[in-house]
Amino acid sequence: MKEMLRGKHVVFHLDNMPEVYGWEQGSIKCDSSASTVIKAVKVLAAYIGAFVHVVHVPRKSTELADLADTLSRESSSKGRVTEDLEELRSRGYSRTLEAWLKEPGKMKDFVYSMTKEIENRM
Protein backbone atom coordinates (compact mmCIF):
# COMPACT_ATOMS: atom_id res chain seq x y z
CA MET A 1 0.00 0.00 0.00
CA LYS A 2 2.80 2.39 0.89
CA GLU A 3 4.37 2.13 -2.58
CA MET A 4 0.98 2.40 -4.23
CA LEU A 5 0.33 5.78 -2.57
CA ARG A 6 3.88 7.19 -2.55
CA GLY A 7 3.96 10.41 -4.57
CA LYS A 8 0.21 10.24 -5.27
CA HIS A 9 -2.36 12.92 -4.54
CA VAL A 10 -5.18 11.83 -2.23
CA VAL A 11 -8.26 14.04 -2.07
CA PHE A 12 -10.67 14.05 0.88
CA HIS A 13 -14.10 15.49 0.16
CA LEU A 14 -15.59 17.08 3.29
CA ASP A 15 -19.02 18.62 3.70
CA ASN A 16 -18.03 20.48 6.86
CA MET A 17 -16.30 23.85 6.39
CA PRO A 18 -14.86 23.96 9.94
CA GLU A 19 -13.14 20.65 9.21
CA VAL A 20 -11.79 21.96 5.91
CA TYR A 21 -10.45 24.99 7.77
CA GLY A 22 -9.16 22.70 10.55
CA TRP A 23 -7.22 20.69 7.97
CA GLU A 24 -5.56 23.88 6.79
CA GLN A 25 -4.76 24.91 10.38
CA GLY A 26 -3.71 21.43 11.55
CA SER A 27 -6.39 21.07 14.23
CA ILE A 28 -9.83 22.18 15.38
CA LYS A 29 -9.83 24.04 18.67
CA CYS A 30 -13.06 22.65 20.14
CA ASP A 31 -13.04 19.18 18.56
CA SER A 32 -10.32 16.88 19.84
CA SER A 33 -11.61 13.88 17.85
CA ALA A 34 -11.44 15.74 14.53
CA SER A 35 -8.05 17.14 15.51
CA THR A 36 -6.80 13.59 16.16
CA VAL A 37 -7.94 12.48 12.70
CA ILE A 38 -6.36 15.53 11.06
CA LYS A 39 -3.04 14.88 12.79
CA ALA A 40 -3.20 11.15 12.03
CA VAL A 41 -3.83 11.72 8.33
CA LYS A 42 -1.01 14.26 8.13
CA VAL A 43 1.42 11.89 9.89
CA LEU A 44 0.36 8.94 7.73
CA ALA A 45 0.65 11.00 4.54
CA ALA A 46 4.17 12.07 5.50
CA TYR A 47 5.08 8.50 6.41
CA ILE A 48 3.74 7.13 3.13
CA GLY A 49 4.97 10.03 1.00
CA ALA A 50 1.52 10.95 -0.33
CA PHE A 51 0.07 14.42 -0.89
CA VAL A 52 -3.27 14.94 0.84
CA HIS A 53 -5.73 17.60 -0.23
CA VAL A 54 -9.06 18.51 1.34
CA VAL A 55 -11.91 20.06 -0.63
CA HIS A 56 -15.37 21.12 0.40
CA VAL A 57 -18.39 19.38 -1.17
CA PRO A 58 -22.09 20.01 -0.54
CA ARG A 59 -23.71 17.83 2.13
CA LYS A 60 -24.97 14.46 0.84
CA SER A 61 -23.76 15.27 -2.68
CA THR A 62 -22.47 11.74 -3.37
CA GLU A 63 -23.19 8.23 -2.10
CA LEU A 64 -20.07 8.25 0.09
CA ALA A 65 -20.84 11.78 1.34
CA ASP A 66 -24.29 10.54 2.32
CA LEU A 67 -22.76 7.58 4.19
CA ALA A 68 -20.27 9.80 6.02
CA ASP A 69 -23.01 12.26 6.91
CA THR A 70 -25.23 9.51 8.28
CA LEU A 71 -22.43 7.95 10.33
CA SER A 72 -21.54 11.33 11.81
CA ARG A 73 -25.05 11.91 13.10
CA GLU A 74 -25.67 9.54 16.00
CA SER A 75 -29.43 10.06 16.07
CA SER A 76 -29.86 9.10 12.41
CA SER A 77 -27.11 6.53 12.11
CA LYS A 78 -27.99 3.85 14.65
CA GLY A 79 -30.05 1.88 12.14
CA ARG A 80 -27.45 2.04 9.38
CA VAL A 81 -24.14 1.75 11.22
CA THR A 82 -23.88 -2.06 11.23
CA GLU A 83 -24.86 -2.36 7.59
CA ASP A 84 -22.52 0.45 6.51
CA LEU A 85 -19.57 -0.91 8.52
CA GLU A 86 -20.07 -4.31 6.89
CA GLU A 87 -19.92 -2.69 3.44
CA LEU A 88 -16.74 -0.81 4.38
CA ARG A 89 -15.17 -4.01 5.75
CA SER A 90 -15.83 -5.72 2.42
CA ARG A 91 -13.73 -2.99 0.79
CA GLY A 92 -10.73 -3.78 3.03
CA TYR A 93 -11.30 -0.96 5.46
CA SER A 94 -9.17 -0.48 8.56
CA ARG A 95 -10.00 -2.25 11.84
CA THR A 96 -8.09 0.48 13.69
CA LEU A 97 -10.26 3.13 12.07
CA GLU A 98 -13.38 1.12 12.92
CA ALA A 99 -12.37 0.92 16.59
CA TRP A 100 -11.69 4.65 16.66
CA LEU A 101 -15.03 5.46 14.97
CA LYS A 102 -16.87 3.45 17.61
CA GLU A 103 -15.13 5.12 20.59
CA PRO A 104 -12.87 8.02 19.54
CA GLY A 105 -12.20 9.19 23.09
CA LYS A 106 -10.80 5.83 24.18
CA MET A 107 -8.14 5.41 21.52
CA LYS A 108 -5.24 7.63 22.55
CA ASP A 109 -2.67 5.89 20.31
CA PHE A 110 -4.70 6.21 17.08
CA VAL A 111 -1.85 7.64 14.95
CA TYR A 112 0.61 4.95 16.10
CA SER A 113 -1.96 2.18 15.60
CA MET A 114 -2.83 3.38 12.07
CA THR A 115 0.86 3.60 11.13
CA LYS A 116 1.42 0.04 12.39
CA GLU A 117 -1.63 -1.25 10.52
CA ILE A 118 -0.43 0.32 7.27
CA GLU A 119 3.05 -1.17 7.81
CA ASN A 120 1.53 -4.61 8.36
CA ARG A 121 -0.50 -4.36 5.15
CA MET A 122 2.60 -3.68 3.06
pLDDT band at 21 (very low <50, low <70, confident <90, very high): very high
Range of the domain at 95: 2-121
Res. 12: pLDDT tops 70: yes
pTM of the predicted structure, to 2 decimals: 0.58
The share of the chain scoring above pLDDT 90, in percent, equals 9
Please tell me the total count of domains within the chain: 1
Q: What DSSP character marks residue 11?
A: E
Contacts of residue 40, Cβ cutoff 8 Å, sequence gap at least 6? 110, 111, 114
Query: Bigger pLDDT: 13 or 102?
Result: 13
Q: Where are the beta strands (DSSP E) in 1-122?
A: 9-14, 51-56
Look at 45 and 77; give whichever has higher pLDDT. 45
